Amino acid sequence: MKISVASYSFHGLLAEGKMDVFGYLESCKYRYGLDSADIWNGLIGTVDSDTILNVRQAVEAREMQVVNYHVDGVHLWEDDPDARDRNHLPTAHPGTHHFHLRFLL
């Protein structure tokens, strides 16, 4: 059976400064014996291309695969027109609409 552990499960440790995406990958691979990752964008914490590339390299180095990428904060619709406009501003986080998956998969 193929399983993964959702990285959001570690959000409490992230808030305490005890976990990051690299610790998550280490835990999945070596503590739980998994070869798949279910990554939450909050665990990565940035859209910086160097960080995203480092995450991809960490996944590959552990011979893992990303089976799910959970993204918070990407809304197609907001009731408030100002919030809706902010979600569609390309300058808010350049390239984020297609950025993560392109580098992770």
Condensed to tens digits (0 to 9), the pLDDT of residues 16-32 reads 999 999 999 999 999 99
Residues 6-25: b if buried by 16+ CB within 10 A, e if exposed: ebbebeeebeeeebbbeebb
The long-range contacts involving 27-30, CB below 8 angstroms and separated by at least 24 positions, are 28/4, 28/64, 29/62, 29/64
pTM of the model: 0.73
pLDDT the model gives residue 83: 78
Residue 35: Cβ within 10 Å count = 14
More confident position, 84 or 53: 53
Q: Which residue type is seen at 48?
A: D
Compute the CA torsion angle 76, 79, 80, 86 (nearest 10 deg): 0
What confidence category does residue 1 fall into, taking pLDDT thresholds of 50, 70 and 90?
A: low
CA distance 67 to 39: 8
What confidence category does residue 92 fall into, taking pLDDT thresholds of 50, 70 and 90?
A: very low
**Average pLDDT taken over every residue of the chain:** 82
- pLDDT tens-digit readout, 54-72: 999 999 999 999 999 988 8
pLDDT the model gives residue 2: 78
pLDDT the model gives residue 81: 85
